[in-house]
Structure 1
Amino acid sequence: MPPCDFVPEKYESYPYERMLKIRRQYTSPSLTTYYKKPLLLHQGHMQWLFDHEGRRYLDLFAGIATVGVGHCHPKVTAAAQKQLGRLWHTASVYMHPAIQEYTEKLTSLLPDPLKVLYITNSGSEANDLAMVMARLYTRNFDIIGFRGGYHGGSPYTMGVTSIGNYKQVLPHGSGCQTTMLPDVFNGPWGGSQCRDSPVQTIRKCSCSPGSCHAKDRYIEQFKDTLDTCVPKKIAGFIAEPIQGVNGTVQYPVGFLKEAFELVHERGGVCIADEVQTGFGRTGSHFWGFEGHGVVPDIVTMAKGIGNGFPMAAVITKAEIAGSLAQGLPFNTFGGNPMACIVGSAVLDAIEEDGLQKNCEAVGTHLLREFAKLRDEFEIVGDVRGKGLMIGIQMVKNKESRQPLPAEEISEIFEDCKDMGLLFGKGGTHFQTFRIKPPLCITKEDADFAVDVFHTALTRHKKRTAAAK
């Protein structure tokens, strides 16, 4: 494990077993935990987490792609501590320096005409508001999303969240339709020249540089949805530049640009859900949509915006924002002084620490090293992503692309944890390992992660051979 000179404080709270009992007795059963023996985390420092026994872990999940600049980043921590002694909260009915300063700083990072900001508390709330804006502005109702998309758990956003595990058995999302996901690994079309990534799928295809036949076929499916599932006028289309919860799924190059044009022809607005892709995580650009050569009508963001502080935002055009004035939308905590100070410090840390550049360099290295494991192990079906947004899809074999059984994935997951490596799981069947670490990880950290994963895969191979 790479060295770390940080020494965590001694854990002094309840014993582990009492904590576990409280969790099981009083916490909603919907809030599941990872691992057979859930981790009791005590402290964090940049890319590292420490449990109650002082054991150190390399965090490659970052609170679900949230801790962008690092756990307890000194600049962000200092800014928050200073503001705590000045003013915790006042609603947006008053002005305070932090919200005006932050508004100017954040909106300067987006292209014209995306210059009007509305701060909220979570990504679900931001996407919910974006859907409201789209409907009010266009005076249309239907909204389209991708199958496999995740946009939140509110009654509105559940309609465009299209992963069964995240839906409830109750009415939700009226007026929401989903369309075929242009997935070049799992879908019917796509192959080795289709996506914007340092690593391509091993599937063969008939595409050539500058001409993606898979993109054209998926666009035909999108047109079919427009022709059959919605009225001739729609409110909008929402998409993640790279799908997060579904396992870092990327679309064919050029797809999103053509889809946006088709939506605009139907009178709709285009919403880019940057909750996981924003703030430099894709490396090549600050915002995921920039990698597709598009400018959305509405952008939503959360997670990395506050490095773990509960905040989110919607940024749009003035005329779309103006549609909200028909009523009186209000958010008690949106844009409070603490949130804005933390958000501002996060932007400073990204720039001053060179995190976007680091994300591209380390992420590209990590992707290429993981791709070597794909070539070595039959159960590693696909390695994909950009920057430090990476997915490793596990399969029974590369020919069938069927998901590796859950119990086998869990064994690999546990082995990695026991060796000091934490990452997440995603995909329709939780068959994809999600790697979205703090953007401050180093090449040495990346090499450690690859070595641990290699060891875990080797152990799995031996277990499988012994069972035959």
Structure 2
Amino acid sequence: MTLAWRHLLRALYLETSTPGTPKTCPSPKGAFWTSVAKLGLHTKPSMPPCDFTPERYQSLAYDRVLEIHKQHLSPVLTAYFSEPLLLHQGHMEWLFDYEGNRYLDFFSGIVTVSVGHCHPKVNAVAQKQLGRLWHTSAVFFHPPIHEYAEKLSALLPEPLKVIFLLNSGSEANDLAMLMARAHSNNTDIISFRGAYHGCSPYTLGLTNVGFYKMELPSGMGCQSTMCPDVFRGPWGGSHCRDSPVQTIRKCSCASDCCQAKDQYIEQFKDTLSTSVAKSIAGFFAEPIQGVNGVVQYPKGFLKEAFELVRERGGVCIADEVQTGFGRLGSHFWGFQTHGVLPDIVTMAKGIGNGFPMAAVVTTPEIAKSLAKRLLHFNTFGGNPMACAIGSSVLEVIKEENLQENSQEVGTYMLLKFAKLRDEFEIVGDVRGKGLMIGIEMVKDKTSRQPLPREEVNQIHQDCKRMGLLIGRGGTFSQVTRRLAFTYHFRHSASHPRCASLNQKLILQWKYSVLP
């Protein structure tokens, strides 16, 4: 049956079913589907309450926006939906479009808005600094940069105490690559397949996602290794992940022993033996892969991998661009959940709640190695505006107990989604930690083949229509990423209407993929 027919059939259910009149429809396989009406899908799900009223939109007409976008903006900036969403205003976990429609933001500006859209304290600090000093060269001192450096360094363990401030995650990983090579006097750097570490000419070598690759040389000296994905990879079981939810795959491992981890370590050793020089510069790893679909590694894997890298003279880099600042709940930094201490940590996105800001934190020894070889300078890195905003973000996270909130709300959501996974065949995996959650959509649980892209696209369209914005990820764009919906989502996540909304979304997905 074609996708169009599936949508037509689903539309007929939605239009003809009435409350209290359950209907069934035989599938080609002879199974009977409970009606949309019986499942409560005859009406649009109710949204959690919101006491904020957006301003009236008074800017460019929608059609004019589309014309300007087509004529003057990069063709790479493709719309996320078939009908592009024109956003006008944001308030905490909510976004509003030009027509005043309200959306619950489950993606937070691609994992960037860490304490809420236009948080009042962050806004006030930004406005105050805006009236005092916007920018001055880093060759001059100004209090915001020193205040921020002191606050950030206090959140990192020894000896990670030297901070380089920049403007984006790609810049941060660029600099980390340079540091690793300058300190080790080696060239080769390893990263996981499926990793995303940036899209600059340098970091494209670290990024191993097909549609970010091109036919021209980039990122010389970078090698990829197998991603230890315990759901989609060759090995995985029911005790592998540091998560409230494990995979549906079975294994005979004890809770403190993981055979999958041992198998993936052998693959990592094979990469070291065959694909790089005897001495290497370093190894990059996201504590949880973001763009690849919230992929978690077996417990203990990173610890052994770091030891192997250091035996080869390399340094270990934790890319905390998506996982840092308490998002995972149990710890402030993702690397802490693996029981490891990296030599370099990169961070961006949530560091400034949407304001362009990034940082690289390393040891005094590595910082000195770079200084001997390069007069590193960044015009906008560490500017007064960014540092003032960064300080206010750290204060909000602490004052409002947002790390604890990530743990509480994230665990609640993961366990709820796991129940839906057990009920519906197309929900193959639920994974994550804290407020970094991935739901992998599959054709069926036995084959674990990804749900076709056009059907995942329809899921996203349906979610938008019902007032929910979610992300996507994975090699085949088959994973819905509920990454870091703003920390203030605590006011909505436990609301009964929100639980109902999420359940109805899964049910909607079921009817989007009728056989």
Could you tell me which amino acid in structure 2 is paired with residue 309 of structure 1?
Answer: F
Where structure 2 has 5 or more consecutive residues not aligned to the other structure, the ranges are: 1-46
Could you tell me which amino acid in structure 1 is paired with residue 398 of structure 2?
Answer: E
- 1:378 alignment partner in structure 2: 425
Query: Counterparts of 1:147-158 in structure 2 under 5 Å?
Result: 147-158=193-204
- 1:183 alignment partner in structure 2: 229
Measured against aligned partners, the alpha-carbon deviations of 1:250-288 in whole angstroms (never above 9, x if no partner) come to 000000000000000000000000000000000000000
Query: Counterparts of 1:45-444 in structure 2 under 5 Å?
Result: 45-325=91-371, 326-436=373-483, 437-442=485-490, 444=492
- 2:503 alignment partner in structure 1: 454
Q: Is residue 229–residue 296 contact of structure 2 (8 Å, CA) maintained in 1?
A: yes
**Residues 171 and 450 (structure 1 numbering): CA distance in 2 closer, same or farther, change over 3 Å?**
farther
* Aligned counterparts of 2:65 and 2:53: Cα–Cα separation in 1: 23
Q: Is residue 416–residue 452 contact of structure 1 (8 Å, CA) maintained in 2?
A: no
Question: How far does residue 461 in structure 1 lie from its aligned partner after superposition?
Answer: 3.0
Q: Is residue 459–residue 512 contact of structure 2 (8 Å, CA) maintained in 1?
A: no
* Aligned counterparts of 1:71 and 1:27: Cα–Cα separation in 2: 25
* Aligned counterparts of 1:451 and 1:165: Cα–Cα separation in 2: 36
Question: How far does residue 460 in structure 1 lie from its aligned partner after superposition?
Answer: 3.8
Query: Aligned with 1:216: secondary structure?
Result: helix
Could you tell me which amino acid in structure 2 is paired with residue 335 of structure 1?
Answer: G
* Aligned counterparts of 1:53 and 1:463: Cα–Cα separation in 2: 27
* Aligned counterparts of 1:387 and 1:86: Cα–Cα separation in 2: 37
Could you tell me which amino acid in structure 2 is paired with residue 403 of structure 1?
Answer: P
* Aligned counterparts of 1:177 and 1:121: Cα–Cα separation in 2: 26
Question: How far does residue 169 in structure 1 lie from its aligned partner after superposition?
Answer: 2.2
Provide the aligned length of Structure 1 versus Structure 2: 466
* Aligned counterparts of 1:334 and 1:29: Cα–Cα separation in 2: 28
* Aligned counterparts of 1:448 and 1:350: Cα–Cα separation in 2: 26
Could you tell me which amino acid in structure 2 is paired with residue 461 of structure 1?
Answer: K
Further displaced range: 270-279 or 450-459: 450-459
* Aligned counterparts of 2:124 and 2:62: Cα–Cα separation in 1: 31
Could you tell me which amino acid in structure 2 is paired with residue 120 of structure 1?
Answer: L
Q: Is residue 370–residue 450 contact of structure 1 (8 Å, CA) maintained in 2?
A: no
Q: Is residue 155–residue 172 contact of structure 1 (8 Å, CA) maintained in 2?
A: yes
Query: Aligned with 2:489: secondary structure?
Result: coil
Q: Is residue 48–residue 498 contact of structure 2 (8 Å, CA) maintained in 1?
A: no
Further displaced range: 24-33 or 372-381: 24-33
* Aligned counterparts of 1:179 and 1:264: Cα–Cα separation in 2: 16
* Aligned counterparts of 2:236 and 2:474: Cα–Cα separation in 1: 18
Could you tell me which amino acid in structure 1 is paired with residue 504 of structure 2?
Answer: T
Query: Aligned with 2:116: secondary structure?
Result: coil
Could you tell me which amino acid in structure 2 is paired with residue 4 of structure 1?
Answer: C
Question: How far does residue 299 in structure 1 lie from its aligned partner after superposition?
Answer: 0.1
Further displaced range: 166-175 or 256-265: 166-175
* Aligned counterparts of 2:89 and 2:201: Cα–Cα separation in 1: 35
Of all paired residues, the percent bearing the same amino acid is 68
Where structure 1 has 5 or more consecutive residues not aligned to the other structure, the ranges are: none
Q: Is residue 283–residue 316 contact of structure 2 (8 Å, CA) maintained in 1?
A: yes
Q: Is residue 416–residue 453 contact of structure 1 (8 Å, CA) maintained in 2?
A: no
**Residues 460 and 111 (structure 1 numbering): CA distance in 2 closer, same or farther, change over 3 Å?**
closer
* Aligned counterparts of 1:462 and 1:98: Cα–Cα separation in 2: 53
* Aligned counterparts of 1:346 and 1:329: Cα–Cα separation in 2: 26
TM-score by length of 1: 0.98
**Residues 450 and 181 (structure 1 numbering): CA distance in 2 closer, same or farther, change over 3 Å?**
farther
Could you tell me which amino acid in structure 2 is paired with residue 452 of structure 1?
Answer: L
Question: How far does residue 455 in structure 1 lie from its aligned partner after superposition?
Answer: 2.3
Further displaced range: 403-412 or 132-141: 403-412
Q: Is residue 316–residue 344 contact of structure 2 (8 Å, CA) maintained in 1?
A: yes
Q: Is residue 426–residue 510 contact of structure 2 (8 Å, CA) maintained in 1?
A: no
Question: How far does residue 464 in structure 1 lie from its aligned partner after superposition?
Answer: 4.0
- 1:8 alignment partner in structure 2: 54
Could you tell me which amino acid in structure 2 is paired with residue 25 of structure 1?
Answer: Q
Question: How far does residue 154 in structure 1 lie from its aligned partner after superposition?
Answer: 1.0
Q: Is residue 272–residue 289 contact of structure 1 (8 Å, CA) maintained in 2?
A: yes
Largest Rg, 1 or 2: 2
**Residues 443 and 9 (structure 1 numbering): CA distance in 2 closer, same or farther, change over 3 Å?**
closer
After TM superposition, where is structure 1 displaced by more than 2 Å over at least 4 residues in a row?
443-465
Further displaced range: 367-376 or 298-307: 367-376
Further displaced range: 20-29 or 373-382: 20-29
Could you tell me which amino acid in structure 2 is paired with residue 358 of structure 1?
Answer: N
Q: Is residue 137–residue 380 contact of structure 2 (8 Å, CA) maintained in 1?
A: yes
**Residues 341 and 359 (structure 1 numbering): CA distance in 2 closer, same or farther, change over 3 Å?**
same
Could you tell me which amino acid in structure 1 is paired with residue 241 of structure 2?
Answer: R
Question: How far does residue 127 in structure 1 lie from its aligned partner after superposition?
Answer: 0.3
Measured against aligned partners, the alpha-carbon deviations of 1:210-254 in whole angstroms (never above 9, x if no partner) come to 111110110010011001101110000000000000000000000
Further displaced range: 257-266 or 402-411: 402-411
Question: How far does residue 413 in structure 1 lie from its aligned partner after superposition?
Answer: 1.1
Question: How far does residue 440 in structure 1 lie from its aligned partner after superposition?
Answer: 1.3
* Aligned counterparts of 1:148 and 1:237: Cα–Cα separation in 2: 14
Question: How far does residue 443 in structure 1 lie from its aligned partner after superposition?
Answer: 5.9
**Residues 141 and 463 (structure 1 numbering): CA distance in 2 closer, same or farther, change over 3 Å?**
closer
Query: Aligned with 2:431: secondary structure?
Result: strand
Q: Is residue 362–residue 443 contact of structure 1 (8 Å, CA) maintained in 2?
A: no
Could you tell me which amino acid in structure 2 is paired with residue 143 of structure 1?
Answer: I
